Amino acid sequence: MKKYAVIVAGGTGIRMGADLPKQFLLLKDKPVLYYSIKVFLDAYDDLEVILVLPEEFVAMGKEIVDGYFDAARVHLVIGGETRFHSVKNGLALIQEESVVFVHDAVRCLVTDSLVKNCYELTLQTGNAIPTIPSKDSVRIITEEGNMAIDRNTVMLIQTPQTFHSKILLPAYEISHKEQFTDEATVVEAFGLKISLVEGEETNIKITRPIDMIIADKILSDRNH
């Protein structure tokens, strides 16, 4: 089945305190974005990437694509006001029946193994959402104050969130709501059940400067 990876790179990186959005920062002499694109292109020969970028950084994204990849397999799209709108802009390019990965560009350490596990579960259930268990104690804020909950019932969500196009494309025709923080919440609001797959501890999201240090160490360990 045809495969697409919608890689969302719409962030501005305010928390990084850098001049460039975090997806363009260099990690071992290559942009963070490079690693996120490469893993999907390497995973499947028939996969195409739809790269969603802020309008002012489309030219920079094109330079990365032209410099490292077969540009015919990567399509550039301008992002929207929110993640929901950015993903919707990317999905507009998909016409045929396919499996669609939606991935955070700054989760640059995702592995071939996780990508393929998500694909296989999606063929069985229609979707696959990678998760890892919470290691921390968790408290919920309520109107009365706060309360502890069993952390064994809490799962932390990662990407690539993966769906059959027959599920994802119709789901994104519904109106945007503030609680749509990821693709799973959109599909769930559309009335469908979510399937979870085991994620990876190393599939971290680059958000703060310390995350770049951690990512560098993870890459070094893999290279050795």
Q: Where are the domains of the chain?
A: 2-223
Q: Scanning the structure block, which residue is given the tokens 């001049």?
A: 19
Amino acid 106 reads V
Distances (CA, A) of 111 to 84, 117, 144, 154: 25, 10, 43, 23
Most distant pair of Cα atoms in the chain: their distance: 56
pLDDT at 15 over 90: no
Q: Give pLDDT tens digits for 118-155.
A: 999 999 999 999 999 999 999 999 999 999 999 999 99
Q: How far apart are the first and last CA of the chain?
A: 34
Percent of the chain with pLDDT strictly greater than 70? 96
Task: Give the Cβ contact number of residue 61 at 10 Å.
Answer: 24
Pairing outcome for strands 127-133 and 196-198: parallel
Q: CA-CA distance, 62 to 56, in Å (whole number)?
A: 12
pLDDT band at 20 (very low <50, low <70, confident <90, very high): confident
CB neighbour list of residue 127: distance below 8 Å, 6 or more residues apart: 121, 161, 162, 163, 164, 167, 168, 184, 187, 192, 194, 195
Q: Scanning the structure block, which residue is given the tokens 């706060």?
A: 146
Q: Note the pLDDT of residue 18.
A: 61
Q: Which two tokens stand for residue 75?
A: 């399509």
Task: Give the Cβ contact number of residue 159 at 10 Å.
Answer: 27
pLDDT band at 4 (very low <50, low <70, confident <90, very high): very high
The least confident of 18-22, 64-68, 132-136, 187-191 is 18-22
Q: DSSP state, 206? A: -
Q: Which two tokens stand for residue 122?
A: 């999606």
Query: 2-223 architecture in CATH?
Result: Alpha-Beta Complex (3.90)
Across the chain, what does the average pLDDT equal?
Answer: 95
Long-range CB contacts (within 8 A, 24+) of 17-25: 17/209, 21/54, 21/57, 22/106, 22/206, 22/207, 23/105, 23/106, 23/206, 24/57, 24/60, 24/64, 25/206, 25/212
- Predicted TM-score (pTM) above 0.85: yes
